[in-house]
Amino acid sequence: MAAVPSEHAVLGAEDQLRLIAALRSTGGFTEAVVLSARDAVEVYGVGLGYGHHLANRLLRTLAAYCATTPDALRPVASCLSGRQAAEHLIRTAEPGRLRDARWAAERASGIGPVLGSLFAAGSRTARVVRGAPDPERIVRTQVDAWLHETEYGAAGQLITAMHAEVFALCLAELDRFATDLEPADRSRVARAIAGRLLSQPMAVARSAARTGDFATLDLLARLLGPQARAAAPVLG
């Protein structure tokens, strides 16, 4: 999640839809929701990568819509990930704003199982949290339930979808360079490579760096981002 004060990021309804579309297409996020809070614009995204990489991608896309640069937004932006982002949403959001944000995300096909579950939890508990004697306990309980649900439900769906995408990319590479393999063998090898890339990407990068297999490093960079190739020599 990236939050930017409203005076630095003014987004109308149509801007929100275009921003969600950009996050999903060029930003590489599988889900995205834009929430107009009282004094800030908050952008929530779900994607593959580490928290700071995802936050940078959020800021770059948001900066483009604010006609500024990521460096200009970085000093005023607040970036949270994982549990912290979920707790912030449930602790601070208002039911009406959550409803509007979810409706806009549904129009832009940005809502999915992870953020859909989180925003539903926020809508259920927003009013209760404000009047409870121990609101933080309620926030923690709701986030625990959300994390458990996404870990065993939505996250599995996300991984399945990512595996299909990575498999398709691996198969395309094998079709180009491993023409001596039969189609069925190429499919089997591509599926095995995709599974290993998703489960142990840095192990693959270390092995490729030691053997000088730059083709694999280039493939990793395309599949997982430039940080995969940059990290390989260090890790090797």
Largest CA distance in the chain: 69
| Tens-place pLDDT, residues 190-223 | 777 777 666 665 666 666 666 666 666 666 666 5
User: From CA 218, how far away is CA 229, in angstroms rounded?
Assistant: 7
CATH of domain 2-154: 3.30.460.30
In the block, residue with structure tokens 């280039």? 218
Break the chain into its structural domains and give their ranges.
2-154, 156-235
100-131: per-residue pLDDT in tens? 899 989 988 888 888 988 999 888 887 777 77
Using alpha carbons, list the distances in angstroms from residue 207 to 50, 90, 117, 213: 21, 43, 38, 8
The CA distance from 155 to 157, in Å, is 5
The answer to whether 170 and 194 have CB atoms below 8 angstroms apart is yes
* pTM score, whole prediction: 0.64
Query: Rounded to an integer, what is the distance from CA 10 to the centroid of its chain?
Result: 23
